[in-house]
Chains A and B, each alone.
Chain A
Amino acid sequence: MAQMTMIQAITDALRTELKNDENVLVFGEDVGVNGGVFRATDGLQKEFGVDRVFDTPLAESGIGGLAIGLSLTGYRPVPEIQFFGFVYEVMDSISGQLARMSYRSGGVYHAPVTIRSPFGGGVHTPEMHSDSLEGLMASQPGLTVVIPSTPYDAKGLLISSIRDDNPVIFLEHLKLYRSFREEVPEEAYTIPLGKADVKREGADLTIVAYGLMVHESLKAAEELEKDGHSVEVIDLRTIQPLDVETIIASVQKTGRAIVVQEAQKQAGIAANVVAEITERAILHLEAPVLRVAAPDTVYPFPQAEGVWLPNFKDVIETAKKVLEF
């Protein structure tokens, strides 16, 4: 075991899989000799060579096409999109092509591609760096979308993503890269995709969250505990497909739920979670399922992040509305 930040756990997962499978290729803008703009691929080119870990021209669409073509020749590409706000340049390769590869070929071809990309607010990035666009990905049949919130989860989920024979979008929250350390096993281990994790058990209210909002929810749960409320916090970890089973089991137990996301209310995937709960557990609900989300505006100018981004106080406020309904 070693104490790792999330970014170290990610590098460790990449190293593990580069070693484990010679078909794994890591490429993107500045991921080679530079080791990535956040050091996620630090040292990998040196260790595995320029044939396995390499830089590309600056063109996201081309990177997507490269990944598709390489997968057709039997490789297991792990491309990086430098910031997920740049995904619009490569939407066709992801949604129009990768996600459909197996289906459109009638199962003849597959796309074992894992696209890594950072996103998320709270660190005053310039425009189009921090936008939460996971909702776009979650609506594309054929894609699995993973968002870890801890170093331990990040390593296990990334290894699972790379080993998956279908395309996976692996989104890494910028604020969580180095915000804390955690014990992470040195050997390879996997965490199943599509499985949520109950990060805190409770009896009165279910909070469903993902990404940075898991930590805001845990913080809120601690505060609520002081007022005598027992709060369960579910970290989705995979936002598509949803782990409906875990969510419903929790709601059936608590009878109350809120869903917390950093994305705007009209975006993200909170509405999906609410719909699933409504369809499957309405008779267990003591109150409506409310959402914590950002305002429906463009992602804020850096100086406005503090007043715009949802935080633990918003979670407490919404939790109380539901608890006191």
Chain B
Amino acid sequence: MANNNILDPQKTLHEIEEKFEMFQILNEEGEIVNEEANPNLSDDELVELMSRMVYTRILDQRSISLNRQGRLGFYAPTAGQEASQLGSQFALEKEDWILPGYRDVPQIVWHGLPLEKAFLFSRGHFVGNQAPEGVNVLSPQIIIGAQYIQAAGVALGLKKRGTKGVAVTYTGDGGSSQGDFYEGINFAGAFKAPAIFFIQNNQYAISTPRELQTAATTLAQKGVAAGLPSVLVDGMDALAVYAVTKDARERALRGEGPTLIETMCYRYGPHTMAGDDPTRYRTSDIDSEWEKKDPLVRFRKYVEAKGLWSEEKENEVIERAKEEIKQAIKAADATPKQTVTQLMENMYKGDMPSNVKEQYEIYKEKESK
């Protein structure tokens, strides 16, 4: 008789999966449900984090609107992911590197990229991609997964330099199906490099639900394949995301290697503004279920209960956001148009190759007319 116990799903699969419980600190009512893990941010820090989330929600609303007016180009909505995006960035230091995906513009803005540059990135202007000196960010990566293998390299570089910094990168649930996703975490693991890998699981890769990506019950457990400590976090809970990131960062700086973090979250808007219609693949029931989990609602309740937040304060942030967005769009409008010779100048450090040099002269002549 065949031995039916060799591949026992209980032992080989379910026991592992059970270990990936959702880590949460703040529930939907804004109550601390895990006091032990509470990062105990100062009042100022709590206000700052709340302000950034409100600001970023407004940035999303305005970006969608500006996109519809044709005053922005490529835009991937972020509403719903504020806790995941900003809770994690809030735990970083200036020396840390961010390798963002295309939806991760807010993180690099809060890491130091001027808003006008973020808008220029959206429009498709190289000035938008010129990170200021000392702002350790790459431009949003369009090739899903590429940021993961590059993060392993940045992290190894930081380790070799003995820098007190980590490399942080983000992908989505769909991105966890890519080969570069696995290679990235596996390389970082093998080199014990100080990297933090985020999977922002917003349930859909364009129209494809998370269940169609993999039979794995969590995405966090994919870290097991690379030997990484991995954790599933409530991605609508800014405190939980912050606490986990902080912990991963400290581990990395102690030389203990990378971490994989799955943030369970949701995007309220479409995949991008380029014609995606989420009503084709999502019901309003699912939307309203996730709206109850809104990271702003619960964080607002939490800081209000502490007497740190009021409607007045929130309106102040909203007005500031709107004003700064207006100024940033103006600055973007005022940025000189790109020329072909500029594009050529940006291609190479040092001498241009002979073919480009020849074309450079041709375009210089054209541009002088």
Contact = CB atoms under 8 A, between A and B. Distances in A.
- The answer to whether A and B come from one shared complex is yes
Interface in A292-317: none
Contact of A59 (B187, B348, B356): B187
B149 A65 contact: yes
B233 interface: no
Interface string A61-84: 110111111111111000000000
B5 to A, nearest CB: 33
A130 B177 CA distance: 31
A72 B131 CA distance: 13
Interface stretch (A31-39, A89-97, A116-124, A226-234): A89-97
Given A102-B347, A110-B349, A62 B143 contact: no
Interface stretch (A11-19, A182-190, A210-218, A240-248): A240-248
A28 interface: no
Interface string B143-172: 100101111111111101101000100000
B179 interface: yes
B345 interface: yes
A107 B127 CA distance: 10
B363 interface: no
Interface string B267-286: 00000000000000000000
B167 A69 contact: yes
Contacts of B184: 62, 65
A65 B150 contact: yes
A105 interface: yes
A248 to B, nearest CB: 12
A107 B130 contact: yes
Contact of A70 (B153, B180, B343): B153
A144 B353 contact: yes
Nearest to B132: A108
B158 A194 contact: no
B346 interface: yes
25 contacts: A61-B180, A62-B180, A62-B187, A64-B149, A65-B152, A65-B187, A66-B156, A66-B187, A69-B167, A70-B154, A73-B160, A74-B161, A75-B157, A92-B143, A93-B146, A104-B126, A105-B346, A106-B127, A106-B129, A106-B130, A107-B345, A144-B353, A165-B350, A194-B354, A241-B353
